[in-house]
Chains A and B, each alone.
Chain A
Amino acid sequence: MAEVDFRFGTGKPQVSFDLPLFHKWMFPDGTPWTYFYRKGEGYLLRFPGLGDFDVSADGLFIQAWPVPGVSEETIQHLYLNQVLPLALSKQGKWIFHAGAIDTPFGAVAFLGESGRGKSTLAASFAMSGYRFFTDDALLLEKLEDVYLVQPSHPSIRLWRDSQEALVGDDVQLAPPVQYTSKARLLSGGELGFCPESRTLRRMYFLGDGSSTDVCIERMTPSEAVMGLVKNSFLLDIEAPDAVASHFNRLADMAELQIYYRLDYPRSYDMLPAVRQAIIEHAAAEDA
């Protein structure tokens, strides 16, 4: 996935500075998660209490500065899941908040914000014989008129209850990290990873779980554009040319007839029906 020179620096306390803050990500409870600063031509991303990351203007170089006492695994995790997708957006790559799995009909992606069930769906499919590409950061590449799903990091992050319900304990785990109790399950055994690129077949935008049954509805093109925008990574949201280019590319992509809303009750018992509905839907030529 990555064409980035990534380096670890020595531990460094986070001190306040006068760099221009241009964006921030917050948790739903208002706790800050990521601060975005301009630093020279490039950027500095600060994860309070965890570490700082310098990102070059072209997204090709990243330097991590862990807060003393923060583990290397934690910094690697932040790099893979948060910083790298943003840096890749500076390289002009297409990165989405999405999980994706391989089906006989092509790759199927599930888009949605945290908590919508992307990783659970990816794990559920992977344990049923459909290999996964990613559980959270989907990289697409365009080849003429075809969009190719690229493999990402071969791991899936799950809460403990999802791991117990879907995978069990017979799986290799990455070392724990310091900002989430989610386990990172490494691919292998029944948890199959797809290491090759595949043509994108469908994109499903995950609902909030209020549906009483499995529900799949086609989205209009404008809904698709706004959904793609909302679920895409873009580091510099203040650069008009970059935002305009991003918008135009997503609008082009929205012309495809592959976008649907997907909702279902969030219950592990429902997952077999959800998988079946998605596979049947992905197989249909005129869905």
Chain B
Amino acid sequence: MNLSDKVTIPAQVMARTVGDETVILDLASGTYFGLDPVGARIWALMGEGRTLAEICATMLEEYEVEREQLEADVLRLAMELAERGLVVAAQ
């Protein structure tokens, strides 16, 4: 996976916002995953169909963070979610 990728959320995956966090559930596997507020923001932007690079660009405007660090964090989260079947990489 790289920054030019988009990810899609499979139909069997649902998410709920609780407080400023998000919990994701895969109805098919029963897998649950919790996201902190920053992860929840990334998840919301993923749901808008943006590429990971576009997500980083948006978040650089919203958070005080180094681009390099942010890109690494977004990629790491995307890959972790993909490994759990909670997102699917799309070109």
Which A residues are within 8 Å of any B CB, using their own CB?
Answer: 220-226, 229, 237, 240, 243-244, 247-248, 251, 254-255
Contact = CB atoms under 8 A, between A and B. Distances in A.
Main secondary structure of the interface of B (DSSP, over half): strand
Nearest to B17: A251
Contacts of A247: 14, 16, 23, 25
Contacts of A224: 18
Nearest to A222: B34
Contact of B19 (A220, A243, A248): A220
B32 A240 contact: no
Contact of B23 (A226, A237, A243, A244): A226
Contact of B21 (A220, A237, A243, A248): A220
Nearest to A240: B27
The 6 closest A-B pairs by CB, nearest first: A222-B34, A221-B18, A221-B19, A251-B16, A222-B21, A225-B23
A251 B23 contact: yes
Given A229-B32, A237-B30, A255 B18 contact: yes
Interface of B: 12, 14, 16, 18-19, 21-23, 25, 27-28, 30, 32, 34-36
Contact of A243 (B18, B22, B25): B25
A186 B23 CA distance: 40
A229 B16 CA distance: 13
Given A220-B21, A222-B22, A222-B23, A248 B12 contact: no
A99 to B, nearest CB: 24
A225 B27 contact: no
Contacts of A221: 18-19, 21, 23
A7 B45 CA distance: 53
